[in-house]
Amino acid sequence: MATNVAALAVTSRFAPRGLRARDFVGWLWASPWILGFLLWTLGPMLWSLYLAFTQYNIIRTPLFVGFDNFTRAIQGADRLFWPSLGRTFAWAFVMVPLSLAGSLLTALLLNQGLRGTALLRTIFFIPSLTPAVALAVLWRWIYQPDFGGLNHLLRSAGVTSPPGWLTDQSLSMPSLMVMTLWGAVGGGTMLIFLAGLQGVPQELYEAAEIDGAGRTARFRHVTLPLLTPTIFFNLVIGIIAALRTFTTAFVATGGGPNYSTWFYILHLYQTAFQNLELGYASALAWIFFVLVVGLTTMNLRLSRRWVYYESEAAS
For 252-267, write each residue's pLDDT tens digit. Answer: 999 999 999 999 999 9
190 pLDDT above the threshold of 50: yes
Gap between the Cα atoms of 34 and 117, Å rounded: 42
Calculate helix-pair angle for 2-14, 21-37, nearest 10 degrees.
Answer: 70
DSSP 8-class letter at 62: P
46-50: Cβ within 8 A, 24+ apart:
48/282, 48/285, 48/286, 49/282, 49/286
Residues constituting the chain:
315
Q: Which of 97-101, 202-206, 298-302 has the lowest mean pLDDT?
A: 202-206
Per residue in 138-177, pLDDT tens? Answer: 999 999 988 889 999 999 998 888 999 999 999 999 999 9
Gap between the Cα atoms of 207 and 218, Å rounded: 10
Residue 312: pLDDT band with limits 50, 70, 90:
low
Gap between the Cα atoms of 92 and 299, Å rounded: 14
5 pLDDT above the threshold of 60: no
Per residue in 37-57, pLDDT tens? Answer: 999 999 999 999 999 999 999
Residue 26: pLDDT band with limits 50, 70, 90:
confident
Q: What is the mean pLDDT of residues 73-90?
A: 96
Q: Which CATH architecture has domain 73-314?
A: Orthogonal Bundle (1.10)
pLDDT at 123: 84
In the chain, which segments carry CATH 1.10.3720.10? 73-314
Q: Considering the chain, what is the average pLDDT of its residues? A: 89
